[in-house]
């Protein structure tokens, strides 16, 4: 399964987990643990995912190159990119924004 990394929830209550090392984002039902679907990303070091877009129906997936050897980068030239996955039929929530007291002007 790779290593679970960044994750997000959709509005149906399902968990989407970026799986570092295998280039996949996998959706689970967090109550039953059932794997619901899998999205393959053309870069093995998937690091995080979140929903966005005008209707919150696009899944954005980040990937990394840190620690990748030249052979891996040649095989997966899109490593380090951000990918947009559409037509999943699900929506997510907007990200929470954190503002510290030091930057909020208080």
User: Catalytic residue numbers?
Assistant: 5
Distance set, CA 83 to CA 38, 62, 99 (Å): 15, 6, 27
Q: Cα separation of 98 and 76, whole Å?
A: 34
Burial class (CB within 10 angstroms; exposed 0-12, middle 13-18, buried 19+) of 23: buried
């Amino acid at each position: 399964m790779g290593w679970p990394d960044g994750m997000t929830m959709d509005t149906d209550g399902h968990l989407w987990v970026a799986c570092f090392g295998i280039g996949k984002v996998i959706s689970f039902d967090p109550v039953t643990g059932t794997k619901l679907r899998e999205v393959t990303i053309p870069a093995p070091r998937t690091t995080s995912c979140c929903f966005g877009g005008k209707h919150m129906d696009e899944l954005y997936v980040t990937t990394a190159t840190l620690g990748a050897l030249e052979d891996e980068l040649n095989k997966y030239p899109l490593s380090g990119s951000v990918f947009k996955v559409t037509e999943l039929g699900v929506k997510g929530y907007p990200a929470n924004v954190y503002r510290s007291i030091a930057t909020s002007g208080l």
